[in-house]
Amino acid sequence: MNISSLVVKVSPGSMDSVLAALSSSDLCDVHFHDQQKGTIVVTIEGRDVGEEMDKMKEIEKMPHVLGAALVYAYSEAELSAAAARIAEGSSDPVPEDLRDS
SS3 per residue for 28-97: CEEEEEECCCCEEEEEEEECCHHHHHHHHHHHHHCCCEEEEEEEEEEEHHHHHHHHHHHHCCCCCCCCHH
Q: Which domain holds residue 30?
A: 2-98
pLDDT tens-place string over residues 36-89: 999 999 999 998 888 999 999 999 999 999 999 999 887 776 666 667 777 777
| For residue 101, pLDDT beyond 60 | no
Burial 77-98 (b: 16+ CB within 10 A, else e): eeeeeeeeeeeeeeeeeeeeee
The model's pTM is 0.75
Whichever domain contains 30, its CATH number is 3.30.70.920
Task: Measure the CA–CA gap between 46 and 55, rounded to whole angstroms.
Answer: 8
**pLDDT-derived band at 20, boundaries 50, 70, 90:** very high
Question: Cα(5)–Cα(84) distance, rounded to whole angstroms?
Answer: 26
pLDDT reported for residue 10 = 97
Q: Into how many domains does the chain fold?
A: 1
pLDDT at 94: 64
Asked if residue 93 has pLDDT above 70, the reply is: no
pLDDT of residue 11: 94
